[in-house]
Copies of this chain bind each other. A is one copy, B any other.
């Protein structure tokens, strides 16, 4: 599987293209509406057949390009069923598989940042959205977020995978592009080094963060696949 990581500097969002080199069947994970023209040109240049526009969750900080990518390329939009998205073609469930040529992407339901977070897994790599970030994790104070649930998602579903599994996050604000499960198990300050659940919950409940600046536009926009 070919992996291409792309960055939206304005929202520090990572978008990923995954494609099977032989068949050119492709998926995009967490597209950004403002980058639609860039990503459209990239698909055309590489001759990709964009089958899927997958979301790790309904984002509160940026609007997706999934609706535009469906219009342009016929990509099926996938969002977790808990999102109650009215625009998705596929209401993703834990264990769902998305086939690109000989390659397979598997969905792992990792709720806690929102109730509908999905981590996408390929051999050797995870696309964790805002569940597990590099030396951090997504906040848990809105969109049915729940710190106990996020702790279980990360420690029971992700930290049980091989240490050398690459972690590709949905954002990074310090310039890191990837990590590994082994590194996050060792060094994640919120839940690495076997930190107990109670400590994690106390950290998350004490964050006292301001709302994302675009939340009032982003959530309703994403519920309509960016076509609102």
Distance between A194 CB and nearest chain B CB, rounded to angstroms: 17
State in angstroms the CA–CA spacing of A9 and B175 once bound together: 7
User: How many A residues, CB 8 Å from partner?
Assistant: 18
Asked whether A6 is an interface residue with its Cβ less than 8 Å from the other chain, the reply is: yes
| A175 & B4 in contact (Cβ 8 Å cutoff) | no
Copies per assembly: 2
- Can you list 21 residue pairs at the A/B interface with Cβ under 8 Å? A4-B176, A4-B177, A4-B178, A5-B177, A5-B178, A6-B176, A6-B177, A7-B7, A7-B175, A7-B176, A7-B177, A8-B175, A9-B9, A9-B175, A15-B175, A35-B175, A38-B174, A38-B175, A45-B187, A46-B183, A177-B177
* Apart from A4-B177, A9-B175: 15 A-B pairs, beta carbons within 8 A: A5-B177, A6-B175, A6-B176, A6-B177, A7-B7, A7-B175, A7-B176, A8-B175, A9-B9, A15-B175, A35-B175, A38-B174, A38-B175, A46-B183, A177-B177
Distance between A180 CB and nearest chain B CB, rounded to angstroms: 9
Chain B residue with the shortest CB-CB distance to A3: B178
Distance between A42 CB and nearest chain B CB, rounded to angstroms: 8
Residues in B neighbouring A174, C-beta threshold 8 A = 38
Q: Which positions 14-40 of chain A face chain B at CB distance < 8 Å?
A: 15, 35, 38
Main secondary structure of the interface of A (DSSP, over half): mixed
Chain B residue with the shortest CB-CB distance to A9: B9
Residues in B neighbouring A187, C-beta threshold 8 A = 45
Distance between A19 CB and nearest chain B CB, rounded to angstroms: 12
Distance between A188 CB and nearest chain B CB, rounded to angstroms: 11
Q: Which of A4, A35, A175, A183 has the most CB of B within 10 A?
A: A175
Residues in B neighbouring A15, C-beta threshold 8 A = 175
State in angstroms the CA–CA spacing of A35 and B177 once bound together: 15
